[in-house]
A and B are shown apart, each in its own frame.
Chain A
Amino acid sequence: MPTMSKLEEKVLRKVLKYEMRLKKKFPEISEEDLHLIVRNLIRPKSWPRRFLLRRLKSGGYVP
Protein backbone atom coordinates (compact mmCIF):
# COMPACT_ATOMS: atom_id res chain seq x y z
CA MET A 1 0.00 0.00 0.00
CA PRO A 2 1.53 3.38 -0.99
CA THR A 3 2.34 5.64 1.92
CA MET A 4 1.44 9.31 2.10
CA SER A 5 4.32 11.80 2.03
CA LYS A 6 4.76 14.30 4.83
CA LEU A 7 3.80 17.11 2.43
CA GLU A 8 0.60 15.35 1.36
CA GLU A 9 -0.34 14.75 4.96
CA LYS A 10 0.39 18.36 5.90
CA VAL A 11 -1.67 19.74 3.00
CA LEU A 12 -4.62 17.42 3.60
CA ARG A 13 -4.66 18.29 7.31
CA LYS A 14 -4.70 21.96 6.35
CA VAL A 15 -7.59 21.30 3.93
CA LEU A 16 -9.52 19.64 6.74
CA LYS A 17 -8.84 22.57 9.07
CA TYR A 18 -10.14 25.07 6.52
CA GLU A 19 -13.16 22.90 5.78
CA MET A 20 -14.13 22.75 9.46
CA ARG A 21 -14.04 26.53 9.67
CA LEU A 22 -15.64 27.30 6.30
CA LYS A 23 -18.52 24.85 6.47
CA LYS A 24 -20.01 26.88 9.32
CA LYS A 25 -19.62 30.09 7.35
CA PHE A 26 -20.95 28.66 4.08
CA PRO A 27 -23.56 26.03 4.96
CA GLU A 28 -25.04 26.36 1.45
CA ILE A 29 -21.90 24.79 -0.06
CA SER A 30 -21.99 21.00 -0.03
CA GLU A 31 -19.17 19.33 1.92
CA GLU A 32 -17.97 17.53 -1.21
CA ASP A 33 -17.70 20.75 -3.21
CA LEU A 34 -16.14 22.62 -0.30
CA HIS A 35 -13.48 19.94 0.05
CA LEU A 36 -12.56 20.12 -3.65
CA ILE A 37 -12.55 23.92 -3.73
CA VAL A 38 -10.33 24.22 -0.64
CA ARG A 39 -8.03 21.48 -1.88
CA ASN A 40 -7.68 23.22 -5.26
CA LEU A 41 -7.05 26.61 -3.68
CA ILE A 42 -4.34 25.57 -1.23
CA ARG A 43 -2.65 22.80 -3.21
CA PRO A 44 1.13 23.13 -3.50
CA LYS A 45 2.28 24.35 -6.91
CA SER A 46 4.09 21.05 -7.41
CA TRP A 47 0.83 19.09 -7.43
CA PRO A 48 -0.30 18.32 -10.98
CA ARG A 49 -3.49 19.97 -12.25
CA ARG A 50 -6.03 17.84 -14.14
CA PHE A 51 -8.82 19.64 -15.94
CA LEU A 52 -9.28 18.01 -19.34
CA LEU A 53 -11.76 15.28 -20.13
CA ARG A 54 -11.18 12.87 -22.97
CA ARG A 55 -13.99 11.08 -24.75
CA LEU A 56 -13.66 7.33 -25.04
CA LYS A 57 -14.81 5.37 -28.08
CA SER A 58 -17.39 3.79 -25.79
CA GLY A 59 -18.93 7.24 -25.30
CA GLY A 60 -17.73 7.72 -21.72
CA TYR A 61 -15.38 10.44 -20.48
CA VAL A 62 -12.14 10.14 -18.51
CA PRO A 63 -9.71 12.74 -17.09
Chain B
Amino acid sequence: MSPDEILLLKILRALREVRLEAILVGNAGCALQGVPVMTQDIDFFVRDTKRNREKISQFARRLNLMILKPEETLSETIRAENEEMVVDFVFRLGPNQTFERVRAKAKRIKINNLYAVVASLEDILKAKKAANRPKDQAVLKLIEDTIKVKSEIEGK
Protein backbone atom coordinates (compact mmCIF):
# COMPACT_ATOMS: atom_id res chain seq x y z
CA MET B 1 0.00 0.00 0.00
CA SER B 2 1.07 3.57 -0.66
CA PRO B 3 1.33 6.08 2.23
CA ASP B 4 -1.90 7.64 0.90
CA GLU B 5 -3.76 4.33 1.05
CA ILE B 6 -2.43 3.72 4.57
CA LEU B 7 -3.74 7.13 5.64
CA LEU B 8 -7.12 6.51 4.02
CA LEU B 9 -7.32 3.12 5.70
CA LYS B 10 -6.64 4.77 9.06
CA ILE B 11 -9.54 7.17 8.39
CA LEU B 12 -11.87 4.37 7.27
CA ARG B 13 -11.08 2.39 10.43
CA ALA B 14 -11.86 5.39 12.63
CA LEU B 15 -15.14 6.02 10.78
CA ARG B 16 -16.07 2.40 11.32
CA GLU B 17 -15.18 2.53 15.01
CA VAL B 18 -17.48 5.50 15.61
CA ARG B 19 -20.11 3.97 13.29
CA LEU B 20 -20.32 7.03 11.07
CA GLU B 21 -21.74 6.28 7.63
CA ALA B 22 -19.80 8.45 5.22
CA ILE B 23 -19.45 8.57 1.44
CA LEU B 24 -16.09 9.57 0.00
CA VAL B 25 -16.52 12.48 -2.43
CA GLY B 26 -14.23 15.19 -3.86
CA ASN B 27 -10.92 14.68 -5.57
CA ALA B 28 -9.91 11.70 -3.43
CA GLY B 29 -13.10 9.98 -4.58
CA CYS B 30 -12.22 10.90 -8.16
CA ALA B 31 -8.65 9.63 -7.86
CA LEU B 32 -9.81 6.24 -6.55
CA GLN B 33 -11.91 5.88 -9.72
CA GLY B 34 -9.15 6.70 -12.18
CA VAL B 35 -9.31 10.48 -12.57
CA PRO B 36 -5.73 11.81 -12.71
CA VAL B 37 -6.06 14.38 -9.91
CA MET B 38 -4.42 14.93 -6.55
CA THR B 39 -5.69 16.66 -3.45
CA GLN B 40 -4.72 17.94 -0.02
CA ASP B 41 -7.92 17.01 1.78
CA ILE B 42 -10.23 14.02 2.00
CA ASP B 43 -13.93 14.84 1.75
CA PHE B 44 -16.83 12.80 3.07
CA PHE B 45 -20.56 13.32 2.59
CA VAL B 46 -22.61 12.52 5.70
CA ARG B 47 -26.23 12.92 6.77
CA ASP B 48 -26.81 16.13 8.68
CA THR B 49 -27.98 14.91 12.08
CA LYS B 50 -27.06 15.88 15.62
CA ARG B 51 -25.84 12.33 16.25
CA ASN B 52 -23.57 12.44 13.19
CA ARG B 53 -22.07 15.74 14.35
CA GLU B 54 -21.29 14.03 17.67
CA LYS B 55 -19.76 11.08 15.83
CA ILE B 56 -17.54 13.47 13.86
CA SER B 57 -16.25 14.83 17.18
CA GLN B 58 -15.55 11.25 18.35
CA PHE B 59 -13.80 10.52 15.04
CA ALA B 60 -11.63 13.61 15.48
CA ARG B 61 -10.68 12.61 19.02
CA ARG B 62 -9.68 9.11 17.89
CA LEU B 63 -7.31 10.47 15.26
CA ASN B 64 -6.14 13.46 17.33
CA LEU B 65 -7.62 15.90 14.85
CA MET B 66 -8.64 19.41 15.70
CA ILE B 67 -12.04 20.67 14.61
CA LEU B 68 -11.71 24.26 13.53
CA LYS B 69 -14.67 26.56 14.17
CA PRO B 70 -16.67 24.04 16.25
CA GLU B 71 -18.94 26.88 17.35
CA GLU B 72 -20.44 27.02 13.87
CA THR B 73 -22.89 24.29 14.68
CA LEU B 74 -25.07 24.90 11.66
CA SER B 75 -22.29 25.15 9.11
CA GLU B 76 -22.50 22.90 6.06
CA THR B 77 -18.94 21.62 6.46
CA ILE B 78 -16.86 20.44 9.40
CA ARG B 79 -13.11 20.32 8.96
CA ALA B 80 -10.99 18.06 11.17
CA GLU B 81 -7.25 18.25 10.74
CA ASN B 82 -3.78 17.83 12.13
CA GLU B 83 -0.26 17.86 10.70
CA GLU B 84 -0.84 14.55 8.92
CA MET B 85 -4.29 15.00 7.34
CA VAL B 86 -7.24 17.25 6.52
CA VAL B 87 -10.66 15.58 6.60
CA ASP B 88 -13.76 17.51 5.57
CA PHE B 89 -17.30 16.38 6.32
CA VAL B 90 -19.94 17.95 4.10
CA PHE B 91 -23.66 17.85 4.81
CA ARG B 92 -24.80 19.14 1.41
CA LEU B 93 -23.80 18.26 -2.14
CA GLY B 94 -25.40 19.54 -5.31
CA PRO B 95 -29.11 20.08 -5.98
CA ASN B 96 -31.26 16.97 -5.44
CA GLN B 97 -28.26 15.00 -4.21
CA THR B 98 -29.63 13.47 -1.05
CA PHE B 99 -27.48 11.09 0.97
CA GLU B 100 -29.69 8.15 -0.02
CA ARG B 101 -29.56 8.95 -3.74
CA VAL B 102 -25.79 9.35 -3.72
CA ARG B 103 -25.31 6.18 -1.68
CA ALA B 104 -27.53 4.19 -4.08
CA LYS B 105 -25.13 4.94 -6.95
CA ALA B 106 -21.90 4.81 -4.90
CA LYS B 107 -19.11 2.28 -5.54
CA ARG B 108 -17.41 0.12 -2.95
CA ILE B 109 -13.65 0.31 -3.41
CA LYS B 110 -11.42 -2.02 -1.44
CA ILE B 111 -8.55 -0.52 0.51
CA ASN B 112 -6.62 -3.38 2.05
CA ASN B 113 -9.21 -5.15 4.24
CA LEU B 114 -11.86 -2.41 4.27
CA TYR B 115 -14.19 -0.94 1.70
CA ALA B 116 -14.53 2.77 1.03
CA VAL B 117 -17.98 3.82 -0.13
CA VAL B 118 -17.20 6.26 -2.93
CA ALA B 119 -19.72 8.49 -4.72
CA SER B 120 -20.04 7.79 -8.44
CA LEU B 121 -18.03 10.01 -10.77
CA GLU B 122 -21.33 11.32 -12.15
CA ASP B 123 -22.40 12.45 -8.67
CA ILE B 124 -19.01 14.01 -7.89
CA LEU B 125 -19.15 15.83 -11.23
CA LYS B 126 -22.65 17.11 -10.48
CA ALA B 127 -21.55 18.34 -7.03
CA LYS B 128 -18.49 20.07 -8.44
CA LYS B 129 -20.56 21.77 -11.14
CA ALA B 130 -22.92 23.03 -8.44
CA ALA B 131 -20.07 24.27 -6.22
CA ASN B 132 -18.47 25.94 -9.26
CA ARG B 133 -15.36 27.15 -7.42
CA PRO B 134 -12.20 27.63 -9.51
CA LYS B 135 -10.70 24.46 -8.00
CA ASP B 136 -13.81 22.52 -9.06
CA GLN B 137 -13.87 24.01 -12.55
CA ALA B 138 -10.23 22.96 -12.99
CA VAL B 139 -11.08 19.26 -12.80
CA LEU B 140 -14.46 19.10 -14.55
CA LYS B 141 -13.01 18.15 -17.94
CA LEU B 142 -10.78 15.47 -16.42
CA ILE B 143 -13.77 13.89 -14.69
CA GLU B 144 -15.86 14.04 -17.87
CA ASP B 145 -13.00 12.55 -19.90
CA THR B 146 -12.52 9.74 -17.38
CA ILE B 147 -16.25 8.90 -17.45
CA LYS B 148 -16.09 8.63 -21.27
CA VAL B 149 -12.93 6.51 -21.30
CA LYS B 150 -14.15 4.29 -18.48
CA SER B 151 -17.41 3.67 -20.26
CA GLU B 152 -15.53 2.72 -23.43
CA ILE B 153 -13.07 0.40 -21.66
CA GLU B 154 -15.83 -1.30 -19.70
CA GLY B 155 -17.81 -1.66 -22.92
CA LYS B 156 -20.86 0.28 -21.75
Give A residues with C-beta under 8 Å from B: 18, 22, 25-26, 28-29, 33-34, 36-38, 40-42, 45, 48-55, 61, 63
Contact = CB atoms under 8 A, between A and B. Distances in A.
Contacts of A26: 145, 148-149, 152
**Chain B interface mostly:** helix
Contact of B7 (A22, A29, A40, A52): A52
B34 to A, nearest CB: 4
A57 to B, nearest CB: 12
Given A49-B2, A50-B4, A29 B40 contact: no
A42 B3 CA distance: 21
Most buried by B among A25, A51, A53: A51
- In the complex, which range does the number of interface residues on chain B fall in? 20 to 34
B152 A25 contact: yes
Nearest to B40: A53
Given A48-B2, A51-B31, A41 B149 contact: yes
A39 B53 CA distance: 38
B92 to A, nearest CB: 24
Interface string B1-24: 111110100000000000000000
B67 to A, nearest CB: 20
B149 A37 contact: yes
